[in-house]
Amino acid sequence: MNIGFIGLGNMGGPMAANLAKAGHVVTGFDTAEVAVEGVQAVGSAAEAATDQDIVITMLPNGAILRAVTAEIIPAMRPGAVFLDCSTVDVDSARSVAEEADKADILPLDAPVSGGVGGAQGGTLTFMVGGNEAAFMKAQPLFEIMGQKAVHCGPSGNGQAAKICNNMILGVTMIATCEAFALADKLGLDRQAMFDVVSTSSGYSWSMNAYCPAPGVGPKSPADNGYQPGFAADLMLKDLRLSQQAAEGADADTPMGRAAADLYARFVEEEDGAGRDFSAMLPRFEKRGRG
């Protein structure tokens, strides 16, 4: 396929490179003018989108997505697929999809899970909103860039799935870190705690696959000084998106709200910026009840 790729940062760059390695013709644009192996760089988003079978975007937020969409939709040919892999608010995803529909372009919102490692290794999971025909047309690209793509329903539902998933993740990571800090104060060995919880009703991805305690469980960012695999800053972004969506949908999410407040304090007032989201554990280690 002929592919336009807009947004060649830490996630978009490796994704575009994997598509090029697989034999697709990839034309890319990024405001930072980065070079990506196998990708032909051009001078504007509109140029990258012109006469392509599929245009992929990986952008920081909904406002930028809306601005880029206004630039590229007039350049895209009718029947092309517009595949947005950014993590943005549901309203922006649905607004962009409406604009694409008016131009006879097939929109998909497909945020990803798996981080930079997943982008580099082609093992991302895509949560996809949009019509079935567009999803099937993009399926071969999902198979190159990732290991799984789930069609979640109409436009906006990919973003809905992503923020619901990450709200669960943020809440369970905080609970896991709190429990380890409590275990320390009760004199319970961390390895013993892991051995019990990881095989009983406290089982979770945060405990079993991404344990926040160094030297316990599979290797994780905790074993690398909490260098980010998934940054606390990004968790805060996703939790805020979840609460924005909850407010719009009149949904009661007290645990999600509490997690958003805790990560906001951690990132913006304490030492969480630039650290992995599991670095909540050393935060709780240093704190008392008051």
Give the pLDDT score at 33. 84
Strand (E) or helix (H) holding 109: strand 106-109
Give the pLDDT score at 64. 97
CA distance 66 to 94: 10
CA distance 54 to 133: 13
pTM of the model: 0.91
Residue ranges of the chain with pLDDT lower than 70? none
Q: Does residue 37 contact residue 17 with C-beta atoms inside 8 Å?
A: yes
Give the pLDDT score at 117. 87
Q: Which two tokens stand for residue 260?
A: 């958003």
Q: Which two tokens stand for residue 136?
A: 């099937």
Give the pLDDT score at 115. 86
Scanning the structure block, which residue is given the tokens 């952008």?
59
The 3 state secondary structure assigned to 13-36 is HHHHHHHHHCCCEEEEECCCCCCC
Residue 137 bears catalytic tag = no
Q: CB within 8 A of 254, min separation 6: which ones?
A: none
- Amino acid at residue number 245: A
Q: Which of these is catalytic: 162, 185, 219, 286? A: 162
Cα-based distances in Å from 50 to 69, 175, 219, 255, 277: 13, 48, 44, 45, 39
Nearest residue to 137 (alpha-carbon basis) of 219, 17, 55: 55
Give the pLDDT score at 116. 87
Residue 102 burial by Cβ neighbours in a 10 Å radius (0-12, 13-18, 19+)? exposed
